[in-house]
């Protein structure tokens, strides 16, 4: 009786396949005559935009929104397709228009390149249009989805990771009226760890509202909201006394010296978010922060995020794995990296009223990765 490639992989050990895929001999070495098709030419590229309605209007220190509209990319070759989502961020000079334009600019590269040279392909994509990391992330997510679907294994397995090692994720509570903040905290009952957005002028009121309904461990994201070091330190220490175990981006991204002063005196870890985008930003942050918040969208993709993880680790830094408010497509892509991180914060999909995709699940705060090939995401693209 002949064995399907999937059964063969299960019987012969998945890590062998993952290792084989990276060897000089290529994936064929591990899968024998069942090797993935390898035809000349690149991808058929499709781009779409989708509107994603939010459950609650979403407010952070910068702005408020009731829906998101993002670009999505579909890469197809040899009867297999990979999907990616480009969750752009106005903070970094991105818009829906600039994101679509960047993917269009990448189109001729994607149509020509050999997807099995995915490192070179990613490098070529990173080289177009300054910044525009959401577009590049969308492309890299689709590329890695296609690659690991072609190999018949989940992405985390391709990286040699144990999906069960992912720490519990936080659930974020946006700034709102105190009544709605309390309601959001109550809706977050299944999540043991909450991340609270602060940094406007009502931090005390927010903490009191949250603490009136829960005694859970909290993490606070100030989104650059505190502009003086003394104020920032006072806030951090006050939070530490009230069951907060880390503070993210207490001060503006360019105030590194002041942040280092706060970090030296703070009794809980201080993490960078707006101060860090890609691996080249990390070395100069090691003095000012205890850790960094990596987001696939601002890193420019999964391959760069993985590089950031190793660079931060080499500098002794902790790692939060954050996200944009986005569908399960982006969130699941990021979740495949979560076993390598300390503080996953992958809840962006849970804030949508109607998620078009189905992928990673959360149970009592634990991330449950799908074991289907690729990202394991299903849904109408
Ligand atoms: Mg943040």
Q: What is the pLDDT of residues 86-138, one digit of tens each?
A: 999 998 999 999 999 999 999 999 999 999 999 999 999 999 999 999 999 99
- Give the strands of the sheet with 80-86, arranged side by side: 44-59, 64-77, 80-86
Q: Quote the number of domains for the chain.
A: 3
Which residue, 120, 155, 190, sits at the end of a domain? 155
Using 50, 70 and 90 to split pLDDT, how confident is the model at 4? low
H or E element: which one contains 15? Answer: helix 14-22
What's the CA-to-centroid distance between 171 and ligand 1, angstroms?
13
Are 125 and 165 in the same domain?
A: no
Answer yes or no: is pLDDT of 25 > 80: no
Are 48 and 119 in the same domain?
A: yes
What's the CA-to-centroid distance between 173 and ligand 1, angstroms?
12
pLDDT recorded at residue 24: 42
Are 236 and 340 in the same domain?
A: yes
User: For the residues 142-157, what does the mean pLDDT come to?
Assistant: 98
Are 175 and 138 in the same domain?
A: no
Are 173 and 150 in the same domain?
A: no
> Under a CB-based contact definition with an 8 Å cutoff, are residues 317 and 351 in contact?
no
Query: E strands of the chain, at which residues?
Result: 44-59, 64-77, 80-86, 171-173, 193-197, 217-221, 244-248, 270-272, 291-295, 318-322, 343-344, 361-363, 366-368
Query: Which long-range CB contacts under 8 A does 236-242 form with residues at least 24 apart?
Result: 236/262, 236/266, 236/267, 236/268, 236/270, 237/266, 237/267, 239/207, 239/268, 240/266, 240/267, 240/268, 242/207, 242/211, 242/218
pLDDT recorded at residue 37: 72
Are 60 and 124 in the same domain?
A: yes
Answer yes or no: is pLDDT of 167 > 70: yes
**Maximum average pLDDT range among 26-30, 55-59, 72-76, 348-352:** 72-76
What's the CA-to-centroid distance between 159 and ligand 1, angstroms?
26
What is the Cα 330 distance to its own chain's centre?
Answer: 7
Which pLDDT tens digit goes with each residue over 54-73? Answer: 987 766 656 677 899 999 99
What's the CA-to-centroid distance between 269 and ligand 1, angstroms?
14
Q: Examine residue 101 and state whether it is found in any structural domain, yes or no.
A: yes
- Name, in order, each residue with C-beta under 8 angstroms of 369's C-beta and a sequence gap of 6 or more: 154, 156, 163, 166, 332, 335, 336, 338, 360, 376
Using 50, 70 and 90 to split pLDDT, how confident is the model at 20? very low
Rounded Cα distance between 342 and 326, Å, is 21
What's the CA-to-centroid distance between 203 and ligand 1, angstroms?
16
What's the CA-to-centroid distance between 109 and ligand 1, angstroms?
33
> Does the predicted TM-score (pTM) go above 0.85?
yes
- Name, in order, each residue with C-beta under 8 angstroms of 22's C-beta and a sequence gap of 6 or more: none
Are 175 and 306 in the same domain?
A: yes
What's the CA-to-centroid distance between 223 and ligand 1, angstroms?
6
What's the CA-to-centroid distance between 36 and ligand 1, angstroms?
40
> Under a CB-based contact definition with an 8 Å cutoff, are residues 155 and 374 in contact?
yes
Are 113 and 173 in the same domain?
A: no
Q: Give the structural domain span for 107.
A: 44-155
- Name, in order, each residue with C-beta under 8 angstroms of 162's C-beta and a sequence gap of 6 or more: 156, 339
What's the CA-to-centroid distance between 331 and ligand 1, angstroms?
15
What's the CA-to-centroid distance between 82 and ligand 1, angstroms?
28
Q: Examine residue 381 and state whether it is found in any structural domain, yes or no.
A: no
What's the CA-to-centroid distance between 199 and ligand 1, angstroms?
11
Are 136 and 267 in the same domain?
A: no
Between 308 and 28, whose confidence is greater? 308
Rounded Cα distance between 306 and 254, Å, is 25
What's the CA-to-centroid distance between 145 and ligand 1, angstroms?
26
What's the CA-to-centroid distance between 285 and ligand 1, angstroms?
16
Are 69 and 121 in the same domain?
A: yes
Neighbours of 378 (CB within 10 A): 14
Where does residue 38 rank: exposed (0-12), middle (13-18), buried (19+ CB within 10 A)? middle
Going from the C-alpha of 306 to that of each of 303, 334, 339, 342, 364, the distances in angstroms are 5, 10, 11, 14, 26
What's the CA-to-centroid distance between 243 and ligand 1, angstroms?
19
What's the CA-to-centroid distance between 342 and ligand 1, angstroms?
15
pLDDT recorded at residue 362: 93
What's the CA-to-centroid distance between 245 and ligand 1, angstroms?
15
What is the Cα 304 distance to its own chain's centre?
Answer: 11
Which residue, 106, 137, 155, sits at the end of a domain? 155
Which residue, 155, 184, 215, sits at the end of a domain? 155
What's the CA-to-centroid distance between 30 and ligand 1, angstroms?
41
Answer yes or no: is pLDDT of 35 > 90: no
**In which residue are the tokens 């992989």 written?**
9
Are 124 and 171 in the same domain?
A: no
Where does residue 272 rank: exposed (0-12), middle (13-18), buried (19+ CB within 10 A)? buried
């Amino acid at each position: 009786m002949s064995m399907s490639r999937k059964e063969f992989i299960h019987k012969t050990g998945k890590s062998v396949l993952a290792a084989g895929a990276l060897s000089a001999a290529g994936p064929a070495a591990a899968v024998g005559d069942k090797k993935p098709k390898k035809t000349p030419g690149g991808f058929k590229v499709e781009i779409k935009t989708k509107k994603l309605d939010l459950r609650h209007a979403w407010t952070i220190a910068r702005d408020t929104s009731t829906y998101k509209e993002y670009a999505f990319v579909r890469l197809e070759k040899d009867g297999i397709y990979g999907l990616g989502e480009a969750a752009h961020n106005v903070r970094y000079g991105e818009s829906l228009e600039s994101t679509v334009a960047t993917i269009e600019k990448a189109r001729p590269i994607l149509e020509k390149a050999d997807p099995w040279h995915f490192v070179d392909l990613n490098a070529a994509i990173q080289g177009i249009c300054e910044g525009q990391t959401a577009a590049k992330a969308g492309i890299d997510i689709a590329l890695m989805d296609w690659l690991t679907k072609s190999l018949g294994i989940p992405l985390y397995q391709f990286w040699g990771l144990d999906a069960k090692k992912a720490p519990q994720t936080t659930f974020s509570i946006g700034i709102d009226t105190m009544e709605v903040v309390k309601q959001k905290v109550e809706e977050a009952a299944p999540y043991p760890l909450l991340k609270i957005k602060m940094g406007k002028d009502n931090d005390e009121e927010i903490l009191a509202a949250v603490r009136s309904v829960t005694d859970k461990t909290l993490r606070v994201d100030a989104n650059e909201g505190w502009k003086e070091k003394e104020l920032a330190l006072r806030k951090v220490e006050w939070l530490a006394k009230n069951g907060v175990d880390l503070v993210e981006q207490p001060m503006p991204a360019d105030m590194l010296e002041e942040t280092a002063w706060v970090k030296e005196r703070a009794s809980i870890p201080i993490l960078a978010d707006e101060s860090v985008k890609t691996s080249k930003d990390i070395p100069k942050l090691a003095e000012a922060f205890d850790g960094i918040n990596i987001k696939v969208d601002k890193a420019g993709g999964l391959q760069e995020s993985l590089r950031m993880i190793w660079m931060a680790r080499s500098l002794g830094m902790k790692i939060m794995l954050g996200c944009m408010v986005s569908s399960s497509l982006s969130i699941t892509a990021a979740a495949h990296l979560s076993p390598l991180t300390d503080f996953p914060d992958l809840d962006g999909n849970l804030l949508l009223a109607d998620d078009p995709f189905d992928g990673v699940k959360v149970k009592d705060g634990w991330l449950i990765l799908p074991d289907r090939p690729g990202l394991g995401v299903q849904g109408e693209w």
